[in-house]
Amino acid sequence: MTSSPSADRPVVEMSGISIEFPGVKALDQVDFRLFPGEVHALMGENGAGKSTLIKALTGVYGIDAGRIVVDGAEHRFSGPGEAQDAGIATVYQEVNLCENLTVAENIMLGHEPRRLGAIDWRAARRAAAEHLATMGLDIDPASSLGSHSIAIQQLVAISRAMVVDAKVLILDEPTSSLDADEVAQLFAVVRRLRDQGVAVLFVSHFIEQVYEISDRMTVLRNGQRVGEYRTDELDRLELVSTMIGRSMDVLEDLQVSTEHTVDAEQGATPYLSAVGLGRKGDVRPFDLDVYAGEVVGLAGLLGSGRTEVARLLSGADRADSGTTRIKDVPTRLRNPRAAISQGIAFSSEDRKSEGVVGDLTVRENIVLGLQAGRGWMRRLPRRQVDEIVEKYMAALNVRPANPDALLRNLSGGNQQKVLLARWLATAPELLILDEPTRGIDVGAKAEIQKLVAELASQGMAVVFISAELEEVLRLSHRIGVMRDRRKVAEIVNSEDVGVDDVVELIASGGEH
């Protein structure tokens, strides 16, 4: 741990920051400070204003009120370029680099060394290689960025940030698509930078990671600052209740609701039954039954074939082997539309590119699926639309509770809720959820989990995919274990099954 930072002068001091969007007060008089040589976590639920605060600091959004002082000088950023010039570098959740260019080009873009006015490519490649080396990254600078995993791309993005000798490094949800090994690699780099005196602002929904890496934290709630704490002085429970501003009732409720079990084993017909379903190159043939009223969890590492299974079950990809029976009737799901007409709803893990429509309002997004099912000629009556929208916005606690807000102005977690509402509005019989809780905060996560449990108890069949094994275990009645694009095991969930058991199954590939 570093020496107490309070002795130094803050490198970033934001005071009284307010930002307003049409219909949304995103930030309200927020103060924030960041010291050199610390890792500072910015905590808060979705919609608390974390992303907005970061975008104010990086010049993406202009501020309506307040002062931003960086390194002693007051700034009014009118673009990301200006913030970068002031020494603030940012690595966003979705890596914002250009996949069409090489690693070296991405790192040096905009800062290429020149000779006689022309870019000196040899020097540029050498500099890029040096920056990669200091990150401990052994990749070819001349390889194209798109050929690397997201984790590597993220580290490349940090290398890029370091080219400008950034005093402040902002990491916005850097770990949400990394596996444990890659997180460790990232944290090693972050610690090294911190020890060099860089101020690191870290935003993550993974509370364990925040405790592992951060020295101090600032908590936001509903666009306001709740407080600033030393990480070692605030325990996890206190943090969560500070973030959500209420006690942990929601999470405890959940424990009760999953206790009931399904009589799936009693010879009933499964709602959906896949036999030998597979697709070359994606996932090996697997069998899977999903009964009405049960949650079937899919556990496995990133890239183990979880998503591919979901895509086959939902008709998003076409299977090239095996059969699907729905209520004992053999059915070919040629495309998502066919699946939807069979009552199967698939909420994709990539909500940004496959789910929500940012330029439509919350209301329009919610009824999109329902309207599509009816055909565009038979418009839903406005009153019915309002009823549905109101019902699901309340049920899912979508914030802000304004059906006319544009979806892109909502936080990630609330977008996810809207997406969920869209599928629920179509009253599906089988709901396939691929990573519905990724990148969203504890409160929203608990709400979504609770909802899934409720839906199942009301008789809906649910396939639930998550990278978080605790979550899968908490919700599922049965768990399919995936590894290396193969379904290696299926276990019935009970009190005795723990995370370790599932991890062991994944590790051993079910071969005992």
Give the shortest CB-231-to-another protein separation in angstroms: 16
Phi and psi angles of residue 504, each rounded to the nearest 5 degrees, phi first: -65, -40
User: Which CA distances in Å does 336 have to 23, 92, 297?
Assistant: 34, 31, 21
Query: Distance between CA atoms of 103 and 97, rounded to whole angstroms?
Result: 9
Query: Distance between CA atoms of 128 and 112, rounded to whole angstroms?
Result: 10
Query: Distance between CA atoms of 452 and 466, rounded to whole angstroms?
Result: 13
**Closest to 488 (Cα-Cα) out of 327, 283, 275:** 283
- Of 102-110, 312-320, 330-338, 386-394, which segment contacts another protein by CB under 8 A? 102-110
- Per CB under 8 A, does 110 bind another protein? yes
> Residues 264, 477: contact at Cβ < 8 Å?
yes
Instruction: Report helix, strand or coil for 471.
Output: helix
Residue number with CB closer to another protein (52 or 175): 175
Give the shortest CB-289-to-another protein separation in angstroms: 26
- Per CB under 8 A, does 133 bind another protein? no
Give the shortest CB-128-to-another protein separation in angstroms: 13
Query: Distance between CA atoms of 29 and 14, rounded to whole angstroms?
Result: 10
Give the shortest CB-364-to-another protein separation in angstroms: 21
- Per CB under 8 A, does 152 bind another protein? yes
- Per CB under 8 A, does 148 bind another protein? yes
Residue number with CB closer to another protein (147 or 247): 147
Q: Could you give the string, one character per residue 194-213, with x where binding to another protein holds by CB under 8 A and - elsewhere?
A: ------------xxxx----
What is the number of other CB atoms lying within 10 angstroms of the CB of residue 342?
Answer: 20
**Closest to 97 (Cα-Cα) out of 155, 138, 55, 50:** 155
- Per CB under 8 A, does 139 bind another protein? yes
Q: Could you give the string, one character per residue 363-402, with x where binding to another protein holds by CB under 8 A and - elsewhere?
A: ----------------------------------------
Sole binder of another protein in the list 186, 292, 460, 506 (CB under 8 A):
506
- Of 96-104, 185-193, 306-314, 355-363, which segment contacts another protein by CB under 8 A? 96-104
Residue number with CB closer to another protein (82 or 429): 82
> How many distinct helices (H) and strands (E) make up the chain?
18, 22
- Per CB under 8 A, does 255 bind another protein? no
Looking up tokens 């060394």 gives 113
- Per CB under 8 A, does 303 bind another protein? yes
Identify any residues that bridge with 461 across adjacent strands, giving them in sequence order: 430
Query: Distance between CA atoms of 164 and 186, rounded to whole angstroms?
Result: 19
- Per CB under 8 A, does 511 bind another protein? no
Residues 456-485 interacting with another protein (rule: CB under 8 A): 467-470, 483-485
Sole binder of another protein in the list 29, 96, 269, 335 (CB under 8 A):
96
Number of amino acids touching another protein (CB under 8 A): 63
Residue number with CB closer to another protein (109 or 360): 109
Give the shortest CB-244-to-another protein separation in angstroms: 16
Identify any residues that bridge with 506 across adjacent strands, giving them in sequence order: none
- Per CB under 8 A, does 109 bind another protein? yes
- In this structure, which long-range contacts are made by residues 230-236, counting pairs with CB atoms below 8 Å and at least 24 apart in sequence? 231/41, 236/207, 236/211
Residue number with CB closer to another protein (320 or 328): 320
- Measured in residues, the chain has a length of 512
- Per CB under 8 A, does 441 bind another protein? no
Rounded to 10 deg, the angle between the 412-425 and 362-374 helix axes is: 30
**Closest to 366 (Cα-Cα) out of 347, 382, 385:** 385
- Of 85-93, 185-193, 258-266, 429-437, which segment contacts another protein by CB under 8 A? 85-93
Residue number with CB closer to another protein (98 or 492): 98
Query: Distance between CA atoms of 69 and 376, rounded to whole angstroms?
Result: 52
- Per CB under 8 A, does 142 bind another protein? yes
Q: What is the 3-state secondary structure (H, E, C) of 362-391?
A: HHHHHHHHHHHHHCCCCCCCHHHHHHHHHH
> Residues 464, 489: contact at Cβ < 8 Å?
no
Query: Distance between CA atoms of 37 and 201, rounded to whole angstroms?
Result: 11
- Site for another protein, rule CB under 8 A: 58, 60, 79-85, 90, 92, 96-102, 105, 109-110, 112, 118-119, 121, 137-140, 142-144, 146-149, 152, 160, 175, 179-181, 183, 206-209, 301-304, 467-470, 483-485, 499, 503, 506-507, 509
